[in-house]
């Protein structure tokens, strides 16, 4: 679970994006896989469980409105990937529907971010 604290005053909603910036370019030209996109998370949320269905789910890079856990492809390097969790405090809810992409969420957040933080974890398939 991800714990949330220090939310800025005036926050109306939260957004969470989890991506992997270490994907081999042979698999994805941009080298990034979006694992989890959540938005319009209630501002009073203090914990998001792994794969939690709080707020509205956007589309991950597999095209599903769901959490996709860490899973570096074993046949490619690097074998260890970074997973970046970015949490945004927003001054409004986003006018988007379920299935919005990370890019659509990021564009909708422009001018509405009161604060942000990130956590980077590493995962290696053994």
Q: What is the pLDDT of residue 52?
A: 82
Q: What is the pLDDT of residue 68?
A: 93
Cα 113 from Cα 14, distance rounded (Å): 9
Quickly list DSSP for 35-99: EEEEEEEETT--EE-TT---SEE---TTS-SS-------TTSS-SEEEEEEEEEEESS-----TT
Q: What is the pLDDT of residue 120?
A: 97
CB 86 within 8 A of CB 16: yes
In tens digits, the chain (126 residues) has pLDDT values of: 899 999 999 999 999 999 999 999 999 999 999 999 999 999 999 999 888 889 999 999 999 999 999 988 888 888 899 999 999 999 999 999 999 999 999 999 999 999 999 999 999 987
Q: What is the pLDDT of residue 78?
A: 87
Beta bridge partners of 33: 20
Cα 98 from Cα 38, distance rounded (Å): 9
Instruction: Return all residues near 108 (Cβ < 8 A) that are at least 6 apart.
Output: 39, 94, 95, 96, 100
* 79 exposure class (CB count in 10 Å sphere: 0-12, 13-18, 19+): middle
Structure-block tokens of residue 50: 């792994």
Cα 63 from Cα 58, distance rounded (Å): 9
Cα 15 from Cα 68, distance rounded (Å): 17
Domains of the chain and any CATH numbers: 2-124 (3.90.280.10)
Q: What is the pLDDT of residue 55?
A: 97
């Amino acid at each position: 679970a991800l714990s949330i604290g220090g939310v800025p005053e005036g926050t109306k909603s939260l957004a969470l994006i989890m991506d992997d910036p270490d994907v081999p370019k042979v698999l994805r030209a941009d080298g990034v896989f979006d694992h989890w996109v959540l938005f319009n998370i209630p501002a009073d949320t203090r914990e998001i469980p792994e794969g939690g269905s709080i707020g509205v789910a956007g589309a991950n890079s597999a095209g599903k409105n769901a959490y996709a856990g860490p899973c570096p492809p074993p046949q490619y390097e690097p074998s260890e990937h970074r997973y970046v969790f970015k949490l945004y405090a927003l001054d409004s809810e986003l006018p988007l529907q379920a299935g919005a992409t990370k890019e659509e969420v990021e564009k909708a957040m422009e001018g509405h971010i009161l604060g942000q933080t990130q956590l980077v974890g590493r995962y290696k398939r053994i």
